[in-house]
Amino acid sequence: MESITVHPTMPNNKDHKLHIAMFPWLAFGHMIPYLELAKLIAGKGHRISFISTPRNIDRLPPLPPNLSTLITFVKLPLPQNANLPEGAEATSDIPEDEGPYLKIAYDSLHQPITQFLTSSKPDWILFDFAPYWLPEIAQNLGIPTAFYSIVLAAPLAFLGPTSPEVPPDDRKLPEDYTVPPKWVPFPATVSWRLFEVLRLYNQISGDEKNVSVLHRFMEAFRGCDLIVVRSSTEFEPEWLNLLEVMHGKPVLPVGLLPPTPQDDDENVMWRSIKDWLDRQSKNTVVYVAFGTEAMLSQEEVIEIALGLEKSGLPFFWVLRTKQGSDAVKLPEGFEERNEGRGVVCRSWAPQLKILAHDSVGVFLSHSGWSSVVEALTFGRPLVLLPMSNDQGLNARHFGEKKVGYELPRDERDGSFTGEAVAESLRMVIEKEEGRVYRNKGKELKPLFGDRKRQDLYVDRFLDYLATHQRRRLI
């Protein structure tokens, strides 16, 4: 595939059609936001090469017919790793503790992606945190790079600076990560709880066999020409500005990427869910879902179940569990006792359609950014129960902005009680003290659901890429 050559005297950037390569990390929580941005860019006539592994590409949602000629999927086979199950190509295919082996296999794509970039010569490549080695390859080939982060600016800023103008990160102990960093110049609570740091400490520190996640992020910041964030200046202006100072390079928000509605009203599963939701009163249903990858422990499932029962509220719970002997179980008789008032769904559920329904009053979520965007697109308040990675930092950030109430937990081990679940849900959905969360959801709905505003963000982003490209060619 050849890139389009641009003549320096072209009249304006809208006439300049780019060829952009995208290389997300092997997690659907990363691939889907990359694909959403790819569709918005292709919708403006630019070409996309979307690079991943064969099985992951085959599992992505189908493209709209009008974009199929502009988005090309590039399949790079994932090298075998003896520590991974056969056919494992995404984080959803493996337990969390096997994540380092998937990163090692991913790092082995160094050579095939070099070959692809050499032959296709895209105008830009957007890459994720994991391929920290990619900027050097691209630089040698004369291809500019943008680190496209699906993570918000606030948790990115927490990770640490690369600019010599900013005091260096000297955190060493787990406790050092439980307070906002010294380089944050404004009041903030964005930090990890102690139990979160202890769970993530290996990813922060790494070892002789594994490159730490923190190192990957820092090298991505250092090596890229541009930092692109799935965020908006209306939502977190102070953090986006700080990020620019911390890394001494341009930071561009690319918008909130609200999800594209799906037209499958005739789907049999949705019809039965809708029938149940239609029978519930407005703003009363607790929707419970923890994304595609978080696996609850037996203790967590029991306490959530007891909390839903104690709350007395109608609920729809999307419960993903491991199969076989490791499968977690609901408390005995739970489903029978709550028949009619609650639904436990053990398969995929149409989250967008559920959140859009008037009966939903609160979303109990892991505070993953994609889920929060979906909730706020429909003005739903949140109760937050972060599980891993950036979710704890997100939860503090969202708590500051009053878009979600974080469920109280034990500081050392992260445990929580059914009573805390029930109280948190009732507070946000019914009580006077929860009105601030309900009002904030309604207030942000126009921002998160604004497709014209999203379109402007993409236009500004493409304008920057085209201008930068033109300067290089003059």
* Sequence-distant (≥ 6) Cβ neighbours of residue 388 within 8 angstroms: 96, 199, 200, 294
In a domain, 6, yes or no: no
In our burial notation (b when 16+ CB lie closer than 10 A, e otherwise), range 230-262 reads bbbeebbeebbbbbeebbebebbbbbbbbbeee
CATH number for the domain that contains residue 171: 3.40.50.2000
In a domain, 2, yes or no: no
Cβ distance 68 to 47 under 8 Å? Answer: no
Q: Measured between alpha carbons, how far is 222 from 190 in angstroms, rounded to an integer?
A: 23
State whether 158 and 37 are in the same domain: yes
State whether 422 and 464 are in the same domain: no
- Bridge partners (DSSP) of residue 52 are 75
Residue 178 sits in which domain range? 13-258+450-473
In a domain, 457, yes or no: yes
Beta strands per DSSP E along 295-408 = 315-318, 342-345, 360-365, 382-384, 404-406
Q: What's the CA angle centered on 168, arms 125 and 139, to 5 degrees?
A: 20
In a domain, 5, yes or no: no
In a domain, 8, yes or no: no
**152 residue type, one letter:** L
State whether 456 and 435 are in the same domain: no
State whether 73 and 159 are in the same domain: yes
State whether 381 and 460 are in the same domain: no
How many domains are there within the chain?
2
pLDDT tens-digit profile, the chain (474 residues): 222 223 333 334 556 799 999 999 999 999 999 999 999 999 999 999 999 999 999 999 999 999 999 999 999 999 988 899 999 999 989 988 888 999 999 999 999 999 999 999 999 999 999 999 999 999 999 999 999 999 999 999 999 999 999 999 999 999 999 999 999 999 999 999 999 999 888 777 776 677 899 999 999 999 999 999 999 999 999 999 999 999 999 999 999 999 876 665 557 888 899 999 999 999 999 999 998 777 888 999 999 999 999 999 999 999 987 655 567 889 999 989 999 899 999 888 999 999 999 999 999 999 999 999 999 999 999 999 999 889 999 999 999 999 999 999 999 899 999 999 999 999 999 999 999 999 999 999 999 999 999 999 999 999 999 998 777 666
* Sequence-distant (≥ 6) Cβ neighbours of residue 326 within 8 angstroms: none
In a domain, 263, yes or no: no
Give 21: exposed, middle or buried? Use CB within 10 Å, 0-12, 13-18, 19+: buried
Instruction: Supply the pLDDT for residue 265.
Output: 53
State whether 127 and 35 are in the same domain: yes
State whether 387 and 454 are in the same domain: no
In a domain, 139, yes or no: yes
Instruction: Supply the pLDDT for residue 15.
Output: 65
Instruction: Name the maximum alpha-carbon separation found in the chain.
Output: 73
State whether 444 and 454 are in the same domain: no
Q: Give the Å distances, CA to CA, from 436 to 129, 402, 430.
A: 35, 7, 11
Instruction: Supply the pLDDT for residue 105.
Output: 94
State whether 21 and 160 are in the same domain: yes
State whether 299 and 240 are in the same domain: no
In a domain, 302, yes or no: yes
Q: Measured between alpha carbons, how far is 109 from 78 in angstroms, rounded to an integer?
A: 7
State whether 101 and 197 are in the same domain: yes
Instruction: Supply the pLDDT for residue 95.
Output: 86
State whether 225 and 369 are in the same domain: no
Q: What's the CA angle centered on 355, arms 352 and 361, to 5 degrees?
A: 175
Provide φ and ψ at 224, rounded to 5°: -80, 160
